[in-house]
Amino acid sequence: MTIPSLTVRNVLKRFSGQMAVDDVSFSLNPGERVALLGHNGAGKTTLFKIILGFLKSDGGDVSVLQSAPGSNAARQASAYLPESVAFPPALTGEEVLKFYARLKGRKPSEAMPLLTRVGLKDAAGRRVGTYSKGMRQRLGLAQALIGRPRLVLLDEPTTGLDPISRQTVYELIGEIAERGATVLLSSHALTELEARTDRILILSRGKLVADDVLSRLRAEAGLPIRLKVWTSPESLAEVAGRLGRGRMNGRSVELDCTSSDKIQTLSAISSLGGLVEDIDVHDPSLDDVYRHFSSVAEKEA
């Protein structure tokens, strides 16, 4: 039986009577890359702090690899990269990592390979005060990876990074998950998450309103799939007529379908044979899915 890396059961947290985390439950397995999404103030950071044992919940329970949050076992098994990382500016990158390695009871010799992995080998002897934001973030990731944690929590790890640095962060996330650790990351950068996470959790006003793989959330949301059927201008009317619907647009006919009638619609298009030059299929984006679940929750509230 697989032991979940993280189990959150009916967790509640109030601040001055206001619900920040409202009866949230989910469980994460080893090797999963999970995105935690939500508007500003939805409760993501509060949930992270409860999982890490920095904050006490007002109800429910959390277990990190079957240990209580904040216990020695949980601290050894987990790692955290906060949204803004701050390190003593007078220390070099190597000194910072060696310091954290000692703090985690690991050998300081773990520092250099990790610095190399995050692309900071050449800057290892430079003071952190001279690092750019992207370099500090990569140092933060290296710090989070000391001791091969089995649960890695990343709070908006790509905010403020350039495209290459973002790519490096996602490559590292992929590597961490490949060796069996669980990665839970919060982010507002939905487009880049789409192909780089396995599962989506959406928080809205402290409530968990979605928890599934993107394809199933798309189907559940029932959002339209947009099809664009390319044809010649002479065949446009015939294609639109034979499909019985669609908007004619220069050299293409655009139509919507749902995931349940997608195959049927594609087979109707393919029966048009040589009249069709090409087809574009646009599934609803993570942005569309996120908007759908957030707005449903807003309306219910």
Nearer to ligand ATP, 165 or 204 (CB): 204
Q: Under the criterion CB under 6 A, does residue 97 sit at the interface with ligand ATP?
A: no
Give the torsion sign (CA, 164, 215, 280, 189). Answer: negative
Q: Residues with Cβ < 8 Å from 260, sequence gap 6 or more?
A: 219
Nearer to ligand ATP, 40 or 109 (CB): 40
State in angstroms the smallest separation of the CB of 71 from ligand ATP.
22
Q: Which of 15, 125, 245, 278 binds ligand ATP (CB under 6 A)?
A: 15
Q: Under the criterion CB under 6 A, does residue 20 sit at the interface with ligand ATP?
A: yes
User: How many beta carbons lie within 10 A of that of residue 174, not counting itself?
Assistant: 12
User: How many beta carbons lie within 10 A of that of residue 109, not counting itself?
Assistant: 9
State in angstroms the smallest separation of the CB of 39 from ligand ATP.
7
Give the torsion sign (CA, 16, 20, 24, 30). Answer: negative
Q: Under the criterion CB under 6 A, does residue 11 sit at the interface with ligand ATP?
A: no
Mark residues 27-46: x for contact with ligand ATP by CB under 6 A, - for none.
Answer: -----------x-xxxxxxx
Nearer to ligand ATP, 36 or 236 (CB): 36
State in angstroms the smallest separation of the CB of 294 from ligand ATP.
12
State in angstroms the smallest separation of the CB of 82 from ligand ATP.
10
State in angstroms the smallest separation of the CB of 186 from ligand ATP.
7
Mark residues 204-243: x for contact with ligand ATP by CB under 6 A, - for none.
Answer: ----------------------------------------
Nearest residue to 69 (alpha-carbon basis) of 54, 82, 58? 54
For ligand ATP, the binding residues (CB under 6 A) are: 15, 20, 38, 40-46
